[in-house]
């Protein structure tokens, strides 16, 4: 658990509803634009600054409703990720409380989180989570860019794509228009507001910037091994190219001797 400012808690609550609630009406969603992420492509890598900013958005806006249960605090310092220092990771972990135990008396207790712990859920159970979010269950965000069609492009579009409802489209109370949601109607009010966070690196916290950064971070949580995998794939391609060349010249040598 963690303490948050009122503005961040309200924003996180509506984000929880929006990411988990289904559309209220059937219909085709507007396809998200291809953003050309830095991590795309054969040689794509993560932007360390974007990862750090995205983590800040997650921590200050999303973490009060959404868990990140596939990620341990110490993963934030690993190569290919935000690469926080060990001291920074320890400081981040201490901002959270985790349940531990049982103690000598058989009771569970809370303690400060340690780098080895995973990000805790903000709710004790699913029923509590639904009760706090109007019946919607806030999904874990660890794999959200893989769990949603369109991946990172979709998450970015959903967070930044709110519009006024077109003429003739009726919106009942509690719903908002977002063309990237199937049916165009979503129960989540605009989750990101201008300057909702104050970036530690001085970057202007526009809605577009925050959407890009938190999506960048959530793609890393879904694929923390991305850079390592691409390096390995590139090495394998080099090896296969050299091997194919050796085989080609070996075969030419063999057939030349036979003729």
227 CB contacts (<8 Å, ≥6 apart)? 45, 46, 79, 80
pLDDT value at position 2?
52
For 203, other C-beta atoms within 10 Å of its C-beta total 16
- The distance of Cα 157 from the centroid of its chain, to the nearest Å, equals 13
213 three-class SS: helix
- pTM for the full model? 0.81
Q: What is the pLDDT of residue 7?
A: 45
pLDDT of residue 257: 63
Per-residue pLDDT at 26: 39
Is the model's pLDDT at 226 over the cut of 90? yes
77-86, 107-116, 134-143, 191-200: segment of lowest average pLDDT: 134-143
Categorize the per-residue pLDDT at 184 as very low, low, confident or very high, splitting at 50, 70 and 90.
very high
Give a three-class secondary structure readout of 181-202: CCCCEECCCCCCCCCCCCCCCC
Both tokens assigned to 213: 């950064």
Closest CA to 185 of 15, 23, 28: 23
Helix, strand, coil percentages (3-state) for the chain, rounded to 5, are 45, 5, 50
Any residues with CB less than 8 A from the CB of 254 and at least 6 apart, and which?
none
At 145 the pLDDT is 96
pLDDT tens per residue across span 5-46: 444 444 444 454 455 444 333 358 899 999 999 999 988 999
pLDDT at 172 over 70: yes
- For residue 165, give every residue at least 6 positions away whose Cβ sits within 8 Å of its Cβ, in sequence order, or none: 171, 177, 184
Question: Can you give the pLDDT at residue 201?
Answer: 93
Q: With contact defined as beta carbons under 8 Å apart, do 21 and 186 qualify? A: yes
- Mean residue pLDDT across the chain: 86
pLDDT grade for 137, boundaries at 50, 70 and 90: confident
Q: Is the pLDDT of residue 256 over 80?
A: no
CB atoms within 10 A of CB 78: 15
Q: Could you report the per-residue pLDDT of 57-77, keeping only the tens digit for each?
A: 999 998 888 899 999 999 999
Between 58 and 231, where is the model more confident? 58
């Amino acid at each position: 658990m963690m303490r948050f400012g009122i503005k961040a808690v309200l924003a996180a609550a509506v984000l929880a509803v929006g990411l988990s609630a289904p559309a209220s009406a059937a219909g085709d969603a507007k396809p998200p634009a291809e953003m050309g992420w830095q991590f795309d492509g054969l040689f794509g890598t993560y932007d360390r600054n974007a990862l750090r900013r995205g983590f800040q958005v997650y921590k200050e806006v999303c973490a009060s409703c959404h868990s990140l249960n596939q990620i341990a605090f110490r993963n934030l310092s690993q190569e290919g990720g935000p690469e926080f220092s060990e001291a920074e990771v320890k400081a981040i972990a201490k901002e959270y409380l985790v349940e531990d135990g049982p103690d000598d008396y058989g009771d569970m207790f809370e303690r400060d989180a340690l780098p080895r712990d995973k990000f805790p859920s903000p709710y004790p159970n699913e029923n509590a989570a639904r009760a706090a979010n109007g019946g919607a269950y806030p999904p874990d965000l660890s794999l959200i860019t893989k769990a949603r069609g369109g991946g990172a492009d979709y998450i970015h579009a959903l967070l930044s794509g709110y519009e006024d409802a077109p003429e003739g489209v009726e919106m009942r109370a509690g719903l908002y228009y977002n063309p990237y949601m199937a049916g165009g109607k979503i129960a989540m009010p605009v989750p990101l507001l201008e300057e909702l966070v104050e970036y530690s690196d001085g970057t202007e916290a526009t809605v577009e910037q925050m959407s890009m950064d938190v999506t960048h971070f959530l793609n890393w949580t879904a694929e923390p091994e991305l850079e390592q995998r691409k390096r390995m794939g590139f090495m394998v391609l080099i090896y296969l190219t050299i091997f194919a060349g050796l085989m080609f010249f070996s075969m030419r040598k063999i057939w030349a001797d036979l003729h």
